[in-house]
Structures are given as structure tokens and as C-alpha cells.
């Protein structure tokens, strides 16, 4: 009975602690007698007591490190502070464990030196407007340099670029002046367009007034012509009726009286009336002769 208890104690102390379950997205680096033995992936594993040892537990997820701002000097001797964010992933747990001491610190120092080298080839304006170029160069250099450490650099981002205070103030003044210049240009362009639209409106209005006056004159002339035509037509119709009726002297005399009456209703202040009817008859005969002449023609 005592022997069974001892065996159970030995199993509990030695066997159970050496059963390892590796979770997803992690790897265990195992050493045997002080030397690298194997790398355990996710699943159930067993190590030999006192012989095998888990030297490092490595995560395979992407790691994000935000490094502190680093002082850098541009090509035109401007000192500024730049902080970066590095996204990397461990691809080889063995190289990551044995490749370099303190890998994250090594990446930080490598990032700082690489950033200084790249910014040293750029002027201030280029540095502020070339973030994509800086990111791309840094990622390429860091990825190549960290490959022996079992690390793959996926992305590098320049988080902040902080120029000196006096340069920031000068840049703000420049930006303010540029905004004011653009505002004045836009205002001038707006006034120009407004003047053009007003002039075009006045031009179109004058054209429309001229066309309206022209149309009115044409309509008045057409009305006067039509009225005159109707008057002449009525006169012609009257002459034709006299011809058709074969008017004699008495009719012509009557028409003469009507003409005199019409003249009396007009604006004339004096009317000369023949002293005898013979004169009136003579007038009638003259009118009759005129009618005959028109008929013969």
C-alpha cells in the first residue's frame, strides 16, 4: 500500500508537470541537456524530467512596438524628433531565441540608426512630405537586417515628426499667408465672374429691348399698311359701285351734296358753295366723265 502511494506521489511530482499543452499561435523552444532540441507547435507534448527544458515561449502573432521619439538631423541641419511604430512577426522561434540578445531592444536601436541615416539624406521639406518613402525604405532595411533573428518586419510607420518650435511657428505663418493668398484669389475670381455675369445680363437685356422695339415698330407699320389698304379697297369698291349703277347727273349731284356735307363736318372753317345748281351739275358731269374715262381704260 505504501509502495503504491509512493508511485502515485512520483507520478504527480514528475510526470504531470512535464505534460505540456501548447496553445494556438505560440511555440515552445525546448532544450535537451542545455542544447537546442526541438520547437513544439500547438498541441500536447511531453518532456523528459531533468533532461528537457522549455527555454522560451514565443508568440507567433504580429507584434506592434511604438518606440520613443528619436532626435534626427536633416540634410539642411534641422534637428527634429521622430517617433516610429514597427509591426513585426516572429517566423522562426529558434533564431528568435538564439539569434540576438533582447530582440525588441535590438529592433529599437536598429530603427533609430536607420531613421537617422534616411533623414540625413533629406531636407526639411522633403522629410515632411515624404513619409511614404521613409516608411518604405525603413521597412526594407529592417526586414533584411532582422531576417537572421527569425523576425519579419511587415510595416514601419512614421508616427510623428516634430520640428523645432521656431520652425513650427514659421511654418504656421507660411501656411496662414498661403491660405490668405488663396482666399484673395478666390474672392477676386468670384468678383470677376460676378462682373461678367452682370455685363452679360445687361447685354442680353439690351438685345431683348431692341428686339421688342423692332417687333413693335413692325407691328405698327403692318397695322398702318393694312388700314391704308382697307381704305383704298373701300374707295375702289365705291367707284366700282358707281360704275355698275350707271350713275346719271342727278345721282352725281346728290353725291356732290353729300361730299359738301362731309366737308362741313370736317375741320374746315370756310366752305365755298357754288352760286347755282348749274355749277353743281357741272361738277357732277365732270365726275361722270372721269368715271367713263376709267371705264374705257
When computed from its CA atoms, the radius of gyration of the chain, rounded to whole angstroms, is: 59
Q: What is the pLDDT of residues 101-141, one digit of tens each?
A: 899 999 999 999 999 999 988 888 888 888 889 999 999 99
Assign 3-state DSSP to the chain and report helix, strand, coil percentages, each to 5.
60, 20, 20
Output the DSSP codes for 173-195: HHHHHHHHHHHHHHHHHHHHHHH
- With 0-12 / 13-18 / 19 or more C-beta atoms within 10 angstroms meaning exposed / middle / buried, residue 142 is buried
Please, which residues have CB within 8 angstroms of residue 253's CB and are 6 or more apart in sequence? Answer: 277, 280, 281, 283, 284
pLDDT score recorded for residue 17: 82
Contacts of 143 (CB under 8 A, 6+ apart): 152, 153
Instruction: Give the highest mean pLDDT range of 75-84, 90-99, 269-278, 281-290.
Output: 90-99
Q: Rounded CA gap, 202 and 124, in Å? A: 54
Domains and CATH numbers, the chain: 17-59 (no CATH), 62-163 (3.30.479.30), 246-297 (no CATH)
- The burial of 85, by beta-carbon neighbours within 10 Å (0-12 exposed, 13-18 middle, 19 or more buried), is given as middle
Structure confidence by residue, pLDDT tens digits, 25-41: 999 999 999 899 999 99
Q: Which residue has the cell 352760286?
A: 275
Amino acid at each position: 500500500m505504501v509502495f503504491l502511494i509512493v508511485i502515485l506521489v512520483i507520478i504527480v511530482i514528475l510526470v504531470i508537470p512535464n505534460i505540456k499543452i501548447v496553445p494556438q499561435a505560440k511555440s515552445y523552444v525546448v532544450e535537451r541537456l542545455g542544447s537546442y532540441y526541438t520547437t513544439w507547435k500547438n498541441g500536447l507534448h511531453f518532456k523528459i524530467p531533468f533532461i528537457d527544458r522549455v527555454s522560451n515561449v514565443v508568440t507567433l502573432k504580429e507584434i506592434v512596438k511604438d518606440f520613443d521619439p528619436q532626435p534626427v538631423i536633416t540634410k539642411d541641419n534641422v534637428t527634429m524628433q521622430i517617433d516610429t511604430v514597427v509591426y513585426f512577426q516572429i517566423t522562426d522561434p529558434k533564431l528568435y531565441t538564439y539569434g540576438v540578445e533582447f530582440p525588441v531592444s535590438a529592433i529599437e536601436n536598429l530603427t533609430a540608426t536607420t531613421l537617422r541615416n534616411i533623414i540625413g539624406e533629406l531636407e526639411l521639406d522633403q522629410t515632411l512630405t515624404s513619409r511614404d518613402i521613409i516608411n518604405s525604405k525603413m521597412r526594407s532595411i529592417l526586414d533584411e537586417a532582422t531576417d537572421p533573428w527569425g523576425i519579419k518586419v511587415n510595416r514601419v510607420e512614421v508616427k510623428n515628426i516634430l520640428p523645432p518650435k521656431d520652425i513650427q511657428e514659421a511654418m504656421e505663418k507660411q501656411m496662414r499667408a498661403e491660405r490668405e493668398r488663396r482666399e484673395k484669389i478666390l474672392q477676386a475670381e468670384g468678383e470677376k465672374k460676378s462682373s461678367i455675369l452682370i455685363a452679360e445680363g445687361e447685354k442680353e437685356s439690351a438685345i431683348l429691348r431692341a428686339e421688342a422695339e423692332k417687333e413693335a415698330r413692325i407691328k405698327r407699320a403692318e397695322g398702318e399698311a393694312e388700314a391704308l389698304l382697307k381704305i383704298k379697297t373701300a374707295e375702289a369698291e365705291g367707284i366700282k359701285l358707281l360704275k355698275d349703277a350707271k350713275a346719271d347727273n342727278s345721282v352725281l349731284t346728290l353725291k356732290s351734296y353729300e361730299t359738301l356735307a362731309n366737308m362741313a363736318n370736317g375741320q374746315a372753317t370756310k366752305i365755298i358753295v357754288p352760286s347755282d345748281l348749274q355749277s353743281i351739275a357741272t361738277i357732277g358731269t365732270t365726275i361722270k366723265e372721269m368715271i367713263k374715262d376709267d371705264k374705257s381704260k
